[in-house]
Structures are given as C-alpha cells and as structure tokens.
Amino acid sequence: MPIDRVLVDAAIDLTRRCFPGQDRGGAAALRLDDGTVLTSAAPRAVNGAVQLCHETGALCEAFKLGRRVTASVCVTAADGDRGFWVLAPCGVCQERLFEHGPDVEVGVPRPEDPRRWRTLRLRDVQPHWFARVFPEDGIWPYEGEE
C-alpha cells in the first residue's frame, strides 16, 4: 500500500506530541504486513553522534512483534510555519528497511514541494544496493526477483 495520508498524519501527530511548540522535530510511521501502524521519534542527545533516526524505535518494535515492514515515512517540522516535510530515508535507514525486502514502500518528497510526497519502492530509491552482488548468500535477489 502506498504511503498515504494516514501514515503521514501518524508521524505528524507524534512530532507534535514529542516536540510541542518547537519549530524543529520529526517522527516516523511504519506500516506492518498486518496493517498495524507503528510510530517513533528520536530523542535529542547532547552528543549528536549518538542520536538515533526517527525510524529506529518503530523498526525495533516491528522486530519484537515478529512483523514485516511494508511502508515507512519520516517527517520533519520545517522552520517557521512552513508545515511538515517528508524526508526520504537516510542511508542507514535504507539498510535497516532492506531487511524487510526491496519492495518496502517509502515516502520521498516531491522536488517542487517537500510537504507533498510520492511513494517509491526501496529498490528504486537505492538501485545499486551493495548486497545485490551476493545472490548466492540468499540476500539478493529476493523471491520473485530475476
């Protein structure tokens, strides 16, 4: 299922709860294979090197539940009163999401307006993923891939 308003709004709602009245902050929402929506936000840390991605908590929860992630979106509050922008998953989160297969759908911002998004499969966001060279290890191709 493509990234939809329900998933984006879940991330926005969590951002508002975790970072009330702040111009900056963000959160993520993930949809699982059973339709469950999980959200998470990263707490701030004095040492930026130890901060987590917003998706991390929801990914850990999906693992704990034994569920597969089918979709993921991350949002950030834009400075001032410019709304919420959708962010493509960072490289680390792409690696984490690849554990759930190349067909995980992710939200990416539209170039003309980051408040709007489109849905891409992870394989299309990262067409040259490093593990594609290891098919004998069962990492790639995934079922149905050629």
Q: How far apart are CA 106 and CA 124, in angstroms?
A: 10
H/E stretch holding 52 reads: none
In this predicted structure, what is the pLDDT of residue 104?
A: 96
In this predicted structure, what is the pLDDT of residue 22?
A: 79
* Sequence-distant (≥ 6) Cβ neighbours of residue 76 within 8 angstroms: 15, 24, 25, 26, 84, 85, 87
Read off the pLDDT of each residue in 119-127 and give the average, rounded to a whole number. 94
In this predicted structure, what is the pLDDT of residue 130?
A: 83
Q: What is the pLDDT of residues 37-82, one digit of tens each?
A: 999 999 888 998 899 999 999 999 999 999 999 999 999 998 767 7
In this predicted structure, what is the pLDDT of residue 106?
A: 97
Q: Which of these, 23, 124, 33, lies nearest to 71 by C-alpha position?
A: 33
Query: Domains in the chain and their CATH numbers?
Result: 5-137 (3.40.140.10)
pLDDT at 146 over 50: no
Number of H helices and E strands in the chain, helices first, is 4, 6
Indicate the pLDDT class of residue 112, thresholds 50, 70 and 90.
Answer: very high
Q: What percent of the chain has pLDDT over 70?
A: 90
